[in-house]
Structure 1
Amino acid sequence: MLRIISYNIRGITTCKKQQQLKIWLNQNPHDIVMLQETYKTKFFHLENFKNSFLDYNIRGALGTWVAGGVLIMIKKKFNMIDYGSDTNDRIVYIKIECNHVPIVLVNVYAPAQITERCSFFKELFLYIPSTKWIIIGGDFNCTPNNQQDRNKLGAQTDNLSYRILLQEVINPLLLTEIFRRKQPRKIIYSYHASAGNYHSRIDLVFGSDIIYKNTHDIGYVPVGISDHDALVLSIKIPPLTDKNMHRRWICNPNVIKRKSFLEKFHRVWNIIINTADLNTIEWWNDFKTSLIMIIQQEEKELNRETRRELDGLSKEYRFRATNPSNDDLAQLEIIRQKLHDALTEKLVNSIPSQDDRDFKCLSNLAKVRLAHGKANQSRIAYLTHPSKGRVETDNGMMEICCNFYQDLYNVKPIDTSYWSALFGDITTLNQNDIDLLDRDITTDECHEALKAMQLGRVPGDDGLTIELWRFIFPIIGSHFIKMVNTARDKGHFHDGFLNGLLTLLKKESEFNGTMKNFRPLSLMNIDYKIITK
């Protein structure tokens, strides 16, 4: 069970308040704590806080006396994959692994002023890494429903910013406000203003559908350290132990531009040339395994470099923003644009289809929404089992799909005595045509076939893209073709060469939960597609 606490602490720079928080946390089981309005305006404030909570990995955005600041505390038993923050000290995000499941947590402190809050929500999308398990929590300074989530309607009640939040972030990512969906009629408030006796529910947590389904418990808990209550939720994270569950990996084309990748690739290829028996078919599988490993290593390093770049820009921005000179003010605008460009590039690179990335008439955010929309349309909410009825679990739906296609593709007994009559009127090839078709496949033919393939197509099970293949083929092409011709002579390829990844596309007809509602599409590896062209 993953236990998460989100709490607006209204400042935690004093030793007394840190001790109060530590006492309260010791009494309340938890794994992750998301704090808003920390008011840690100096780096040494954050370092002192980390030294007081040594059992946690802590990532935060330094605050100002206006922005407040946010941080996330994570028990050290969890592996951190990615993290970052914005320059305005209102967002910090982190990506962790729990039971081998990647989970994104985004901690938010929205501006109190309506106009600023609306602008803030329009930029929030940039700070949410793409994954299936998404949790966005914090103080949003607006209520989902002014009638239900406020005890009084003020003279300037905000009716706009939550709608923008839904439009820009929540709906495109298919998120849900977990507490209200679990407790549709419950009246409860999380913020209590003594002046005027105002109470409202502005501390919220949003999650993807799988987060909602696995949320075991959620509720507001009084803490007493500030005028907010903590929002506490428990989520059951099932371990990824089922061998039928497929975790999709697709090569990042940007990797092949890196000098370090080129060096590693040539080193691996030289080892293959000098040690492998290139007159067999077995070496090809070893080469692809090594190639995938170095690509994945480079992707991790690329992510680390991007993270360091964003972190460095954020630190420089905060340094220059303190008592800025005229030159600093000019540089701040440049740094802000660099940050925005880096985040945008990171966001667009998460779009799986090159076609979607290449739409010149769309903004980057619109491209991402288009990609999310396509992905959401293909999601399968449930399937109907012949005896069990409606099934919604991943394992259960996978079983239905596998059984259906195993039965469909199994070889059926055929009476071959009918073949002679069936084929009697079909024209047969003469020996010259047979010899022409049976000749060796050439390197030039395969290279031309590869160049004719459209970029951006989704690869097969190995995740290796056409862009990568166009880069490596001039180097390895002759040996690859030799392997293909050897396999033809032997009558078989190595294990896995002919594997395909079956993906299901929903038909436009009304969905009733049966497999007949889908059109199967087989995604084959590029090395296989080259020789079939």
Structure 2
Amino acid sequence: MRVKTMMAQRCKIYSNNINGFNSPNKRKKVWQQIKKGKYDVICLQETHIMNKHVAHLTQKSLGKTYYASSAEKKRGVVTYVNENISSEKRFNDQDGRMLGVKIIIEGEKILICNIYAPNGSKIKFVEALYQKILEEEYDDLLILGDFNGVLNNKLDKSKQGGRKKDKVAGEIPKKFKQLKEDLGLIDIWRYHHENEKDFTFFSNRHSTWSRIDMIWGTKSVMNQVTKIKIMPRLNSDHAPIELIMEGRGKKREEFRWKLNDSLLKKATDQNLYREKIGEYFKLNKEEDTPVEVIWDASKAYIRGLMIQHSVRMNRARQLRYTKIIEEVNRLENQLKGKPQDKEIKLKLEMNKKDLEALQMEEIGKKLKYIKQQYFEHANKVGKWLSRRLVKKRQANTINKIQEGGKNYYSNEEIKRQFTKYYEKLYADDKIPKERVTQYLGKQDIPKLTEKQREILNRKITGEEISKTIKRLPPNKAPGPDGFTMLYYKTFQEILTPPLQQVMNKILVEGKVPATWKEANITLLPKEKADMANVKNYRPISLLNTDYKIFTSILAARLKEVLKDRIKEEQAGFLPGRHMRENIRTILNAIEFYDKNPQKEIAFLFLDAEKAFDNVNWFCIIEILKEMDAGYYFISATEAIYSQQTAKIITNGQLSNNINIQKGTRQGCPLSPLLFIMMLEILLEAIRKNSDLKGLRIRNHSYKTRAFADDLVCLIENPLEQFDLWWETIANFGEVTGFRINREKNKILTKNMTQKNKENLKKKTGIEIVKKIKYLGIELTASNAQLQKNNYEKRWREMKDKMNRWRSLKLSLLGKIATIKMKILPEVLFLFQNIPILRNKKNH
């Protein structure tokens, strides 16, 4: 593992509306004051300098000068950038209201937009600013200056009027807020001063203070901000803002090798590697060295060859690029002297095509990163791609964590908090083994048939490995070893025999390669959750591809067995099961109780705390033993679920290794099947217990519905029944690690009086809701609301998206592809999962 080292580059930014800069005395006073702060970037608004007098703005001691002015003695913005910072002007308008300057800090391109927004309507200004930003390529974005409006009247103004109209007067328009959201921007001062009140401008006319001067920034900027403050008003009626960014410094990012798939494009390169791999396995046979060690060493050997090859390719590409540019310049100079020369024109055209091919190769790499194939539908590929890359990067950035009443902002502090949390989460729960065996012994778990046992325990064949390699998707992120699926697809015939040896030895001896115990955990934020809470991220394990080939084979076998053992209540991870079956069951139950108003029912929506991450390993193995799953399969599963380690990825940085002592890894093909196998013990216990009352129609009983860990209990007469249900669930959780989070559970009731609802809430401590989102569908106690809460709501959201996409300037094919990718799946999801039920009162 190599860490890129560099000195942290500090950047100090100053922004102020100076309310006129024509007076030489005022310029001297302002410049003198600013010089004391030793700023790297200075953004001033409302200079009132006309086009013909822009020379007055130049002040070499402050750095390079960039400006936007108008023909009148009004408006005007100017930006100064330290001479030692690489910078260039990117755009400005003719009214002196906006100026875009790109700077480069530690190799990162930061677009700084200095703005002076209009006092009146801001719609045209916002549209023009948004369009100019969309045209740019950048890594991070800052919009700063005088916004001539506040984000929130309650927090950003000293007083509000009592009328409804007064409560929104002075706020920036919805379109401005939408720009902020679309570009993933954060009000940096407010972020660091959550409920504090401070202001930048005093209106004599209204006798009010307001914070209309702001700095907005992308999420990845936030980790670098060490200080932001509103300063005293000295030379203007607006207070300046000072922002200090410390840079990422020496631990900016850690090098994690990943196979560059372009190394395997040429047949000559493939043949070279095929020869080297073949030689390696001929020379290294299982005599003194275990086969799993030989296998791991082969990856280290090939990785070394590929790194050398990649370095040579990059050097050759750069040399070729330089030569093409030089040749294009030479030919263009020749063409100036001989404009009619067809031979020169042809050579120039050929060189430009070669240059385009090199550029498209680079674009192809970036497209793979964002998993996108539809780039050809954007009118300007580079700019479109830049936006997508920035959006992905911002989505993956964690810029604040709250823990123990403290806020943590730096990458190192954030990494430390996540490491501490996951070390504790994955530590062994110390559940007594006797309690597990006693509980499972009472459940009467049916044994596998001889045929099922044979499916699980037969030796792994080369054909199975080949089929699995062909079936697995090619573009998944690799694990810590960096080898992608393309490596295994390309060299399948030469890698299969040694891989088969490794796998069959695991079945017999339970010894896995050391690299199969490793994982990198990437964190995905949960939808609409507080991103400052470490609990609100879903840990996805990036596992090595060879490990996933092995567990995919085991998973395919286990699936064959479980599809006959696991009853219809579980709709997840098995062939022929669909979530729509669960949704329809709930809707049908609501309909049934509509027609039977004398019966009370509660739909208990359970929230399991980190369900996959808390699974008790010993319990999983004991269930397999109770099923009599067979020695080989149990041996392999036990080998996988022991001595695991992982590193947590936060903002591109890896934590130290942490020990994993429980949980089924999200990202492992076998994990979900082992989880639903374990959960079936609970579903069967509920199913068989005649004291637990659910919905009963004739001979059919409906008590539970599950989609993986999303579990709904249908409890009739809930005031009488709840304690018995809860005891059954709690007993299961004590031995399996399946912990229910009472605070996040929800109950939807039907036919219960208000008094009974209150009693139920008091008895259970669980919130009684009028509406709940289940598997993507909004449910209420009346199906008449389905259309309004789902079709109509989703349609409004889709229309809003399509209106925002207008600014992207997509081609016709681009629009078709966008609808196909982003709109059609949402519509189909609704059509497939819920009927269209109109409210009879309204229709």
> Structure 2 CA distance, aligned partners of 1:270 and 1:13?
72
Equivalent residue number for residue 445 of structure 1 = 467
> Matches of residues 307-386 of structure 1 in structure 2 within 5 Å?
352=370, 375=395, 381-383=401-403
Change (3 A) 1:164 1:401: same
> How has the CA–CA distance of structure 1 residues 30 and 498 changed in structure 2, closer, same or farther, with 3 Å as cutoff?
same
Alignment pair present for 1:85 and 2:90: yes
Change (3 A) 1:433 1:159: closer
Q: Report what 2:115 is aligned to.
A: 109
Q: 1:403 to 1:443 in 2, by over 3 A?
A: closer
Moved more, 165-174 or 120-129: 120-129
Letter in 2 for 1:449: R
1:326 matched residue in structure 2: none
User: Partner of 2:38: helix, strand, or coil?
Assistant: coil
Per-residue deviation at 1:211? 3.1
Q: What is the TM-score of this pair, normalised by structure 1?
A: 0.55
1:500/1:523 contact within 8 Å kept: yes
How far did residue 204 of structure 1 move? 1.7
- The residue aligned with 1:137 is 144
Superposed displacement of residue 218, structure 1: 0.8
Identity over the aligned pairs, expressed in percent?
A: 16
1:74-473 matches, cutoff 5 A: 74=82, 76=84, 85-86=90-91, 88=93, 90-92=98-100, 94=102, 96-97=104-105, 104=110, 106-112=112-118, 114=121, 115-120=123-128, 122-123=130-131, 126=134, 135-144=142-151, 159=170, 161-170=172-181, 173=184, 175-178=186-189, 182=193, 184-189=196-201, 202-207=212-217, 211=222, 215-220=226-231, 224=235, 230-235=240-245, 241=251, 272=273, 277-279=279-281, 281=295, 282-288=297-303, 290=306, 352=370, 375=395, 381-383=401-403, 392=408, 393-408=413-428, 437-440=459-462, 444-450=466-472, 453=473, 459-461=478-480, 469-470=485-486
Compared with structure 1, are the counterparts of its residues 190 and 508 closer, same or farther at alpha carbon in structure 2 (3 Å cutoff)?
Answer: closer
Structure 2 CA distance for partners of 1:490 and 1:130, relative to 1, 3 Å: farther
Amino acid in structure 2 at the alignment position of 1:178: W
For 2:201, what is the secondary structure of its paired residue?
A: coil
Is structure 2 residue 39 aligned with structure 1 residue 30?
yes
CA contact (8 A) 2:274 2:491 kept: no
Render the CA deviation track for 1:264-320: whole Å, top value 9, x for unaligned: 98787677567675315434235447469669979x99xx99xx9xxxxxxxxxxxx
Contact 1:190–1:201 (CA under 8 A) maintained in structure 2: no
Matched position secondary structure for 1:27: helix
- How far apart are the structure 2 equivalents of 1:17 and 1:206? 28
Structure 1 range deviating more: 215-224 or 483-492: 483-492
CA shift, 1:73, in A, is 1.7
Question: What's the CA shift string for 1:159-204, capped at 9, x where partnerless?
Answer: 57443222221587261251696384334429999xx999975432
d(CA) in 2 for partners of 1:368 and 1:83?
A: 23
- Counterpart code for 2:126: C
Against the structure 1 CA distance between its residues 35 and 159, is the aligned structure 2 distance closer, same or farther, given a 3 Å change threshold? closer
**Corresponding residue for residue 316 of structure 1:** none
Contact 2:461 2:500 in 1 (8 A): no
AA at the equivalent of 1:119: E
Amino acid aligned to 1:29: K
Q: How many correspondences in the alignment?
A: 446
1-structure distance, mates of 2:264, 2:460: 38
Look up the SS of the partner of 2:216 in the other structure. Answer: strand
Mapped to 2, the partners of 1:207 and 1:430 lie a distance apart of: 58
Larger Rg: 2
Please state how far the C-alpha of 1:126 moved relative to its aligned partner. Answer: 3.0
**Aligned 8 A contact 1:5 1:233 in 2:** yes
- Residue by residue, what CA displacement relative to the aligned partner does 1:197-227 show, whole Å, maximum 9, x if unpaired? 9997543212467839954341235575x88
**Superposition RMSD on alpha carbons, in Å?**
6.9
Secondary structure of the corresponding residue to residue 185 of structure 1? coil
Q: Which moved more, 1:63-72 or 1:503-512?
A: 503-512
- d(CA) in 2 for partners of 1:270, 1:19: 71
Cα distance change of structure 1 residues 2 and 464 upon mapping to structure 2, 3 Å threshold: farther
Conserved 8 A contact 1:92-1:108: yes
Partner SS state of residue 175, structure 1? strand
Q: Is the 8 A contact 1:504 1:521 kept in 2?
A: yes
Relative to structure 1, is the Cα distance of residues 481 and 507 closer, same or farther in structure 2, using a 3 angstrom cutoff?
A: same
User: Does the C-alpha gap of structure 1 residues 444 and 192 become closer, same or farther in structure 2, counting only changes over 3 Å?
Assistant: farther
- Matched AA of 1:285: A
1:192, 1:227 within 8 Å by CA — same for their partners in 2? no
Q: Is the CA contact 2:519–2:541 (under 8 Å) kept in the aligned structure 1?
A: yes
Q: Secondary structure at the residue paired with 1:437?
A: coil
Q: CA deviation at 1:70?
A: 5.5
Could you report, residue by residue, the CA deviation over 1:126-150 in whole angstroms, capped at 9, with x for unpaired residues? 378787x864323334444679669
Scaled by the length of structure 2, what TM-score is found?
0.38
The one-letter amino acid of 2:39's match is: H
3-state DSSP of counterpart to 1:408:
coil
Gaps of 5+ in 2: 1-9, 162-167, 282-293, 326-359, 379-383, 553-843
Change (3 A) 1:397 1:447: same
- Deviations 1:44-93, CA, capped at 9 Å, x for gaps: 98xx979x46x96x6968766589566462563x7x7x988347483535
Q: Over residues 384-423 of structure 1, what are the superposed CA-to-partner deviations in whole Å (9 max), with x where a residue is unaligned?
A: 6xxxx877551442233232244139999999x99xx999
- Counterpart in the other structure of 2:749: none
Cα distance between partner residues in 2 of 1:16 and 1:267: 72
Tell me if 1:500 matches 2:507: no
Whether the 8 Å CA contact 1:59–1:72 is kept in 2: the answer is yes
Structure 1 contact 9–35 (Cα < 8 Å) conserved: yes
Task: Give the residue type in structure 2 aligned to 1:203.
Answer: D
